Structure 1
């Protein structure tokens, strides 16, 4: 499927951030005294994730004073900025492919297959990052194993087992509300960032539409014949959660940065937050234990699954004027001690076989060992550009400006429109 990029209008603040990403590569060349300046753009949104990136960048610059890295973290504005950059054929020297290494960003990446760390690349990551011609598009900083995050202390206190089905999940939310007398938020979303709603829809779309033998719509999604009324279950359930006060009251204004403090205070039972949330919460309150579980099954003939693949990566722009210096940074972060620091700092599994990272959620990954890992729904089954309406429709649904049926209709319209591009 050939995808055509369209340039969206950015807000003034987004344009300012875009400028901070380095502008033209020609302008980010050598600084005073011949210092090379590299631009780097990452999708890291959590403060802890950004902090570990900044620490590693600072360490690299200290060891390599002839190289200066201008790192930026546009958060929810990343995709808009990337589209503008791609349309201008002016990607940053180093950029995150966030799950689209072989499709959306393939023509903008330098081949990394000849680098030393490749011999230690986890076998599970090779097909995700390498195309049929053998081109390796990006370096994986870590691997994603997404599910649902929860406060284990609260579940233990209320006698709730980690849900294996969506029905059990809904029951667990209502149990939390009842037994806490409304003092604990059953399901917390930092909905000021529409990607939180996108995460809910994207992860639960897999058990709803893909993994159940009796309800598998993968082929229809890929050939354009999918009936979007089959999607309506998810907005219906989200609306039900909101109507029953199972979501946080401030869901549309809550910020993801609030999650660690709220988890530490015992105010949240379940969330779609992942990565460093466990470590951050426990640092604030050593008594709290954050757990993670696979995405619950929706249909009776299905089982829970992890949603995974790329999380944070770095690709080198094929048009970079400083490819060698950019590769030098990737070689640096692929050293076992640095790769370990990044994996542990982001609380996600490492992607290299010669790295032994101590992951916060290791005991939970072990508990669910053997659970299948499914790719992100939108990366496989939706055309480029669907992530934005997926999240935005969630905001509108909770705000009361869209019905569940209208959410599905909007998704159908955007899906059809984007398929044609």
Structure 2
């Protein structure tokens, strides 16, 4: 990602200064303004098709074209190189978004009145992602997800197990479940990307989003910050199946759905796949109680879908009209209901049955972004965590994390140093 932007953004910005970004589709022969929205949630294609029809019915002067390609983020980068950006992008609130903001290819929409409808905690997440803090706002968070501990509600009720509120209570519960001959947790560590779910839910209550800026500015290191997270994750392994590295993601969804374990350390995105193997399963979810201070324990929740207007579009007003339509109650309700998502927009929206227990955390704003949303795509975080869980060498793992972070963030770190020298 960083190598890509280092090469692409200067060329892109130079072209933009000379000729504008030429974003979007322009005007059709019938006089309607045509705008293009490229979004990455392919599973929501049918939902967007319906919303597209409703928007055009209410806005007959605009023809909106919504595309949902595979690898949308990669395609957006490619089109930026070709000076052919869509008018609006719909992507996740992660490092790719941060790179787009840093590259100067997303418009500042601070003047958009609809920002006042966004829950402040999710709007702040988009600011926390910025590699170098900027003035203004560059996205409208639309939908969120949640990451915690999925559990078999019927199994819990049958055995009389209580939902834990602290780390010690969680470990005591795991011991109790294990003593009753039930596997407490189903791990899926055969695929390294899956280990990030538990990592995120543990670390979100231990470290704040300011950690990444502090590391980049040389105020601390991951060796200093991640030791406790690593210890807690390693402690959980003894409560999994005999070989926690035998199962991949699909195996885990089927296994948990089939009653092989009482809990599954995954997020809300896994629920549809679990239910596809067992439609009658009664699934619940509670936040990972990663500390012994109840007030410090948060729900890991991030921006799953945001909308940004691309810099240079010739139809900024029409783009903001579309986004304003999307954040209206009926549009949000349609999307969150069909996609089992959580709204980033203020309002009275129903929660999916499987995550309704998390409502107090969402409503109180007691949420923290996924730490890995700050990790560069080329940084092998999942592989490093998997290696640590295999060999138990924490010191090497933490040192490698620092090394890989510096390697994949070198440009930003150097830029921050220059800014510090100039101040």
- TM-score calculated relative to the size of structure 1: 0.70
36, 39, 42: which one aligns with 1:38? 36
- For 1:198, the equivalent position in structure 2 comes to 196
1:342 aligns to 2:332 (yes or no): no
Q: How large is the Cα RMSD of the aligned pairs?
A: 4.4
1:98 aligns to 2:96 (yes or no): no
What runs of 5+ residues in structure 1 fail to find an aligned partner? 9-24, 45-49
Instruction: Classify the secondary structure of the residue corresponding to 1:338.
Output: helix
How far does residue 321 in structure 1 lie from its aligned partner after superposition? 5.9
1:408 aligns to 2:398 (yes or no): yes
1:188 aligns to 2:187 (yes or no): yes
Residues 263/345 of structure 1: CA separation in 2 closer, same or farther (3 Å cut): farther
- For 2:157, the equivalent position in structure 1 comes to 156
Q: Choose 113-122 or 197-206, whichever is displaced more.
A: 113-122
1:59 aligns to 2:50 (yes or no): yes
How far does residue 238 in structure 1 lie from its aligned partner after superposition? 4.1
**Aligned pairs (5 A) from 1:341-420:** 341-360=334-353, 361-366=355-360, 372-378=366-372, 385=376, 388-398=379-389, 400=390, 403-420=393-410
| Residues 378, 387 of structure 1: 8 Å contact kept | no
Instruction: Classify the secondary structure of the residue corresponding to 1:314.
Output: strand
- For 2:223, the equivalent position in structure 1 comes to 228
| Residues 25, 35 of structure 2: 8 Å contact kept | yes
Larger fraction in helix: 2
| Residues 252, 395 of structure 1: 8 Å contact kept | no
- For 2:71, the equivalent position in structure 1 comes to 74
How far does residue 413 in structure 1 lie from its aligned partner after superposition? 0.6
How far does residue 54 in structure 1 lie from its aligned partner after superposition? 1.0
Q: Choose 338-347 or 55-64, whichever is displaced more.
A: 55-64
Q: 1-side partners of 2:96 and 2:357: how far apart?
A: 30
- For 1:254, the equivalent position in structure 2 comes to 248
Instruction: Classify the secondary structure of the residue corresponding to 2:359.
Output: helix
Q: How many residues align?
A: 379
Q: 2-side partners of 1:122 and 1:325: how far apart?
A: 23
- For 1:14, the equivalent position in structure 2 comes to none
Q: Choose 64-73 or 334-343, whichever is displaced more.
A: 64-73
Instruction: Classify the secondary structure of the residue corresponding to 1:108.
Output: coil
How far does residue 339 in structure 1 lie from its aligned partner after superposition? 0.6
| Residues 112, 136 of structure 1: 8 Å contact kept | yes
Q: 2-side partners of 1:142 and 1:415: how far apart?
A: 29
Larger Rg: 2
Q: Choose 128-137 or 228-237, whichever is displaced more.
A: 128-137
Instruction: Classify the secondary structure of the residue corresponding to 1:104.
Output: helix
Structure 1 residue runs of 4+, over 6 Å off? 25-28, 30-35, 80-90, 130-134, 216-219
- TM-score calculated relative to the size of structure 2: 0.70
Q: Choose 229-238 or 343-352, whichever is displaced more.
A: 229-238
Q: Choose 233-242 or 353-362, whichever is displaced more.
A: 233-242
How far does residue 71 in structure 1 lie from its aligned partner after superposition? 0.6
Instruction: Classify the secondary structure of the residue corresponding to 1:273.
Output: coil
